[in-house]
Amino acid sequence: MSEDSAFFSGPDSLAERHETAAPRLVHASRNGWSEIHVIDRGGRLRALKALKPGFRGDARYETLLRKEYEIGYSLSHTSICEVYGFVSEPGLGNCIEMEWIDGRSLADILAERRPDKATARKWVLQLCDALAYLHAKQIIHRDIKPANLLVTHNGKNLKLIDFGCSDADAFTVLKGPAGTASFAAPELRNGADVDNRTDIWSLGKVIALLLPGEKKTAARCTRTAREERFTDVEQVRDALLRPRRWPILLACTALVAAALYLFLHQTAVRTDDPAPETPAADSVDVETVDELFRQATEMIEGADVQ
């Protein structure tokens, strides 16, 4: 006997709460000019990015909010927070209405523990895809850092957020220094012209945090001279996906050594010790060779990328 599916409701059901829900503050930038609220829109949660009370009505910051909206609205990528519209919300003023991402910032996650290597690599590659998409549209994020990378609870996927410091060729505002000092490239801190390699610097900082075994790739991303960095994000991705040669070479060497050891020892046993102890000696040889093969297999299977 089957039972029909249904929604369960009570005196304080989720639907009833949402019907009367007002925007709720969930985050306010400590040193910046914006804050984030969450609101229900017809049964779907949305994020509203508004100016903090002291900045509302200020022409410069209203222009920056509008610029962030126009950049965000032009984007459509699975690893970038989606922007839906520019709205005026009672009590908040002008707001950017965005996708609500149910997750945690990478900064919070790293404060507790470092993720396993497979998960960390997944997040780095998702960030690479998002940045390659941005750069193809001549947009520079300028504030890549763990706090601006959200990881969804469902699926553990990475989402790039906060385009408040972003820039594109068509805009004339916010061309000076911006971003977060510890993740900002030298040219960004100095107020010089920026390009896609400015984001690559910050990407390198994230790689160093998530994938400590990728020191060579992270170091090239973060070279002071821009011309010495990777030219584009695709090159970074290729470097991350390129198989390491040394672990495979070491594994092959171990396999050859195991085969040679077995051959030489069995030859010595047949020549010098035809006694009944031979089976025991052979069994020791097998255990030794098995261990060498096991180590070699682990080196091949665990070969990292660079």
Instruction: Please state the rounded mean pLDDT for residues 260-278.
Output: 58
Residue 93 confidence (pLDDT) above 70: yes
Mean pLDDT is lowest, of 147-151, 172-176, 217-221, 293-297, for 172-176
Give first-to-last CA distance, the chain, whole Å.
Answer: 57
Q: Is 156 left (phi over 0), alpha (psi -120 to 50) or beta?
A: left
Q: Where are the domains of the chain?
A: 14-99, 103-241, 246-301
Residue 294 confidence (pLDDT) above 90: no
What pLDDT sits at residue 300?
Answer: 56
**Beta-ladder partners of 55:** none
CA distance linking residue 146 with residue 65, whole number of Å:
22
Which pTM was predicted?
0.75
What pLDDT sits at residue 242?
Answer: 87
Q: Please, where are the H alpha helices in the chain?
A: 14-19, 59-73, 106-112, 117-136, 186-189, 196-210, 215-221, 233-241, 246-272, 278-301
What pLDDT sits at residue 268?
Answer: 60
Q: Between 3.30.200.20, 3.40.50.300, 3.40.50.2300, 3.30.110.40, what CATH number should domain 14-99 receive?
A: 3.30.200.20
pLDDT tens digits along 95-115 = 999 999 999 999 999 999 999
Pairwise pLDDT comparison (297 vs 122), residue with the higher score = 122
What pLDDT sits at residue 271?
Answer: 58
Joined together, the tokens standing for residue 45 give: 């949660």
What pLDDT sits at residue 29?
Answer: 86
pLDDT tens digits along 25-47 = 999 988 889 999 999 998 999 99
Residue 279 confidence (pLDDT) above 90: no
Q: What mean pLDDT, rounded, does the chain reach?
A: 83
What fold does the segment set 103-241 form as a domain? Transferase(Phosphotransferase); domain 1 (1.10.510)
> Could you tell me which of 306, 120, 304, 79 has the C-alpha nearest to residue 210?
120
What pLDDT sits at residue 63?
Answer: 93
CA distance linking residue 144 with residue 179, whole number of Å:
8
Instruction: Please state the rounded mean pLDDT for residues 175-183.
Output: 68
What pLDDT sits at residue 167?
Answer: 87
Report the share of the chain in percent with pLDDT over 90: 61
- Cα angle 166, 69, 210; round to 5: 45
Residue 249 confidence (pLDDT) above 90: no
**Beta-ladder partners of 49:** 36, 96
Residue 15 confidence (pLDDT) above 50: no
- Catalytically active residues, by annotation: 143
What pLDDT sits at residue 243?
Answer: 74
Residue at 96: amino acid letter = I
Positive or negative, the CA dihedral 167, 171, 177, 179 is negative
Mean pLDDT is lowest, of 23-37, 127-141, 154-168, 233-247, for 233-247
Pairwise pLDDT comparison (295 vs 148), residue with the higher score = 148
